[in-house]
Amino acid sequence: MNSFIYFSVLLAFVNSASAGCMDNVNLKFFGSSYTDFQSVSMPEPINVLSYITFWSIPSLPSSTQYYDPNKKTVIYVHGLFEGTDTVGPKAMIEGYLQRKSEYNVILYDYSSCGEKFLTFTTHQVDLLEGSNALAKMNFDFTKVHIIGYGYGTFIAANVGRKLNGNLRRITGLEPAGILDNILGPLGYAQLNKDNAQFVDVIHTDTGFLGDKKSLGHVDFWVNGGWHQPSCLQSVFDINEFLQNSTLVIAVVCNDARSWMYYAESVNSPASPLPFQSLKCATNYATATENSYTASNCNGSPIVSMGYYADLSKNDLIQSTSNNYFVATNGASKFSLT
């Protein structure tokens, strides 16, 4: 097919079904607790002639109870099928609310779009387009840290690209590698180190849902990055599968450990640093199950995975490749230190 015709058909396809997905997407600015928040609606993209898109720009809350421009800001972008009523976003937000004196704490809630996964291509492209408005808001982005889980890493990366990498930090929690082949050709590439001043990535489920590539200034391959202690080792192992209590636990345990580890790190003491990791001697274009293991990774300097990773930012951004191995316990408290 002629490339121009293909591009035109693709644009028409994307734009024809975009209506409705962004209707209930919002930023939740939290006050004193998880039930105390002010919502700011994100706009529906307005497409003109299939290639010109406009957004209205949302305003920040006027009350310093919900947004104080003098503080740093953390924005958590949840994964598909999640929302305010699910355990992951709640754990991450409540962790940062214990640091409310330092941070504005915000949830990017796109559950109204994520629930429409079966119409994935149209609705998720619409959601990525809609996230462009976030990059236009009146934040001081040099003080903003966006944390994305799964599909949320694509939203974080898209905002970072729109800001030409001037965002302070992006953390990718098990970036959804299975989506890269779908969204990449549409112009929404996976997270990379150019998307923010500092990009750190936590890999916990590389063999199934995650991305096998090193993506950030530092990539942490937890317990090798493929299987996590006490999780199902393979969703294709029927004997193990039947021993698990629910389908959800069986399928997402390895994947969800990425946010569990990070959430634990947020309020861990700085001494000793939690989740201490060791540098790997060899870097691979595409990781396998045996690429980043304890036997291959015993170098220095030691870097703390999670909340405190940016303490090593200046050293890490000077290096071309940083892959680190970190071991954990099989249950909370996960950090060995």
In the chain, the percentage of residues whose pLDDT exceeds 70 is 80
pLDDT value at residue 127: 76
Report pLDDT digits (tens) over 218-273. Answer: 999 999 999 999 986 654 444 544 454 444 455 588 999 999 999 999 999 999 99
- Give me the residue label for tokens 């982005």: 141
The pLDDT value recorded for residue 279 is 95
**pLDDT tens digits, one per residue of 323-337:** 999 999 999 999 999
pLDDT, average across residues 98-127: 79
For residue 155, what pLDDT band results from cuts at 50, 70 and 90? very high
At residue 17, does pLDDT exceed 50? no
Judged against a pLDDT cut of 60, whether residue 6 lies above it is answered with no
What is the percentage of the chain residues whose pLDDT exceeds 90?
Answer: 62
Query: Do residues 103 and 72 lie in contact, with contact meaning Cβ atoms separated by under 8 Å?
Result: yes
pLDDT of the residue at 262: 99
210 - beta bridge partners? 176
pLDDT, mean of residues 180-207 = 87
- Range with top average pLDDT, 47-51, 78-82, 257-261: 257-261
Whether the Cβ atoms of residue 21 and residue 113 lie closer than 8 Å to each other: yes
Query: Is the omega angle on the peptide bond into residue 90 within 30 degrees of 0, that is, cis?
Result: no
Q: What letter does residue 234 receive in the DSSP assignment?
A: -
* Average pLDDT for the chain: 85
175 three-class SS: coil
Cβ proximity of 141 and 168 under 8 Å: yes
Q: pTM above the 0.95 mark?
A: no
- Dihedral pair phi/psi, residue 51, rounded to 5°: -140, 0
pLDDT band at residue 303 using 50, 70 and 90 as cut-offs: very high
Q: Report the pLDDT averaged over residues 316-324.
A: 90
> What is the model's pLDDT at position 48?
59
27 φ, ψ (degrees, to nearest 5): -100, 125
Q: Please give the Cα distance from 183 to 295 (Å, whole number).
A: 35
Given the candidates 3.90.550.10, 3.40.50.1820, 3.90.1330.10, 3.40.50.1980, the CATH classification of the domain at 3-326 is 3.40.50.1820
Q: Which amino acid is at 110?
A: Y
Rounded Cα distance, 272 and 179, in Å: 37
**Among residues 236, 27, 250, which one has the least CA distance to residue 133?**
27
Helix axes 152-162, 120-130, angle to 10 degrees: 40
Q: How confident is the model at residue 180 (pLDDT cuts 50, 70, 90)?
A: confident
pLDDT for 52 beyond 80: no
Of the candidates 114, 149, 150, 156, the one whose C-alpha atom is nearest the C-alpha of residue 135 is 156
77 - beta bridge partners? 108, 148
**Taking the CA of residue 96 as centre, how many other CA atoms within 13 Å lie in the half-sphere pointing to its CB?**
28
The alpha carbon dihedral of 59, 173, 311, 267 has a sign of positive
